[in-house]
Structure 1
Amino acid sequence: MGDSSLLDKIKGGLYGVAIGDALGGTTEFMTASEVKRRHGYLTEIVGGGVWRLEPGEVTDDTMMTLCVAEGILANPGSPMTSIGERFLEWYASKPKDIGNIVRRVLSSYDGSWFEAALLTDQDLGRSGGNGTLMRCIPVALAYARLEDVERVSVIQSRMTHYDERCDQACVSYNRIVHRILRGEELCQAIRAEVTGTEYEESLDGDPGCEPSGFVVHSWKWALHFAYNADSFEETVQLAANKGGDSDTIGAIAGGLVGVYYGFERLPDRYRNAILVRDRLDDIAERLFALRVAASGN
């Protein structure tokens, strides 16, 4: 893969997360029928919704993705501390949207991320949310070696979510991204990673669950949309119009297909709507430079 193509795919992945997030943020917590009554079929980034978003404003999905990326860039060899510092800085900014599990971990962190995640799991009786899957794509964009991708995918997940299903989903997601960056077709890469798992049935049929914030449900729907849509645009629109945890499912699916199509093939009106695009551009360039440096080019 040429340098320009790699940068295009890295940038496409980051913008894909942000676009899916910004489009789906309008319909989060609504049912599909409520979305239809209010918006017909939502195709544009208009803001509003439960968080009263500005058009093009993103939520925790994108902002935590940027935290992971910046943390890796600060210390690629051992990024947990630097990722955590950025989580805490973001939390101190009093964001509009923050998941219950992440909020509990960030508010109770006292020097050990894994301990905070464990205590949160015990206190809430669960920690299988989608809050680590939504933010994990920078790992696959930053590291060329699969063993590094898998290792850091798990580390960033366990920092806030104790449930192993979150680890597994992040590794599955980033293995697919890794395959796409090596030149595989989108559907081929997805099929290769989910065959024989509980997610396989979601490729060819309805996932059979609500589009909820439970990581298994979110990953099933994101895979379903990414595998069956004919374009990036259709992928994120399907997620937005399904409702439920639409911003996060849109971000997960959008990142995946964004890597495949690349930044230049994303709709101009979506790319230009994103308010944090300068930050996305900067991080994409730096992730690209990290990979080039690591390869010795």
Structure 2
Amino acid sequence: MLNKIKGALFGVAIGDALGGTTEFLTKEEIERRHGVLRDVSGGGCWGLEKGETTDDTAMTMAVAKGILQNPEEPIEAIGKEFLTWYDSRPKDIGIIISTVLGTFNGNWFETAKHAHFEYLNGMSAGNGSLMRCLPAALAYPSIEKVEEVTKQLSKMTHYDSLAEEACVIYNRIAFQVLHGQDLKEAIVAEIENTPYAAALLKEKPACTPDGFVVHTMMWVLYWLLNSETFSDVVIGAANEGYDTDTVAAIAGGLAGLQCGYEKLPLHFIDAILVKEELVELAKQLGHLQQNGNIV
């Protein structure tokens, strides 16, 4: 169990760090600059250090910390972690999340609704809740609790139900894999009667891998269904262009969960700057998952 949970958290961070180098570039621009980017190298539009991660990993860690502080009712604790991170002036923060965190009025769900209608022109179906929701599937032994917390996690910042739907599907897949099901079999079972069923054709999506949550999810499913190794998943996503760090992080989380920490490429693990924090969070999430409490 711990091997899988560590693999999931490191999978997010590795995809994030790898894709952070190529974020906002087109596929053609990536080819001209890097050929095929295969290693964590930093740089990119954010001027990242080698192994530095972005908002995808930071918010995933914040969710994990909040859940560990108050597993039964984690939203307030998660929100405090979000605000602490926001106050640190991170390099990379999405428009939807920045708007909600910057206008927080004491109630996350009301703030997200207000931001949706008043500041975001009704457009809050970004991928920013999908990129951070994985710890809910790692923490709770009950699928009902996973879904409850997952929905709340999304609605904290993303009012649009499309974001919530993607998060629930993603974490249902993660829950099945954590408890022994093969990743590709879990994907088939969870998407066959959903708007994402077209991914089962295993064809490249006819959309850009941008920040729209539906597009992101389609590309995540594409890489997971068409790749045989963890490296294939994150390298493929990082070289496709546009929102590379987030697509690679989300796909990497499930790919890392499937293969487990012990089978992740060591050069990827060694490059990650927050590896000690990830190991500790994984241990505590594993204890909560198996024992119903924290250390």
TM-score (norm 1): 0.97
Query: Any idea what SS the aligned residue of 1:105 has?
Result: helix
The root-mean-square deviation of aligned C-alpha atoms, in Å, is 1.1
Partner SS for 2:53: coil
Tell me which residue corresponds to 1:143. 140
Distance apart, 1:51 and its partner CA? 0.4
Q: Which residue of 1 aligns with 2:75?
A: 80
Shift >2 Å, 4+ stretches: none
1:116-154 deviation per Cα after TM superposition (whole angstroms, max 9, x unaligned): 101111121110000000000000000010000000000
Q: Does 1:40 align with 2:35?
A: yes
Partner of 2:84: 89
Partner in structure 2 of residue 243 of structure 1: 241
**5 Å matches for 1:205-284?**
205-284=203-282
Pick one of 114, 124, 135 that aligns with 2:120: 124
Q: CA deviation at 1:86?
A: 0.2
CA contact (8 A) 2:141 2:290 kept: no
Cα deviation for residue 15 of structure 1 reads 0.2
Counterpart amino acid of residue 126 in structure 2: G
| Structure 1, 27-36 or 191-200: larger mean CA deviation | 191-200
* Count of aligned positions: 291
Unaligned runs of 5+ in 1: 1-5
SS at match of 1:197: coil
Unaligned segments of structure 2, at least 5 residues: none
1:132-186 deviations in Å (ceiling 9; x for gaps): 0000000000001000000000001100000001111110000001110121111
Give, in angstroms, the shift of residue 207 of structure 1.
1.1
Preserved CA contact (<8 Å) 2:17 2:51: yes
Q: Distance in 2 between matches of 1:35 and 1:278?
A: 31
TM-score with structure 2 length normalisation? 0.97
In the alignment, the residues of structure 1 paired with residue 239 and residue 286 of structure 2 have an alpha-carbon distance, to the nearest angstrom, of 33
Percent identical: 51
Report the AA paired with residue 269 of structure 1.
Answer: H
**AA aligned opposite 1:258:** G
- Equivalent residue, structure 2, for 1:19: 14
1:60 counterpart letter in structure 2: D
Which residue of structure 2 lines up, in the alignment, with residue 171 of structure 1?
168
- Cα 1:146–1:44 change in 2 (3 A) is same
Distance 1:30 1:200 in 2: 28
Map Cα deviations across residues 12-54 of structure 1 (whole Å, 9 max, x no partner). Answer: 0000000000000000000000000000000000000000000
CA contact (8 A) 2:287 2:293 kept: no
The 2-side partners of 1:174 and 1:192 are apart by 13
Q: CA deviation at 1:199?
A: 1.3
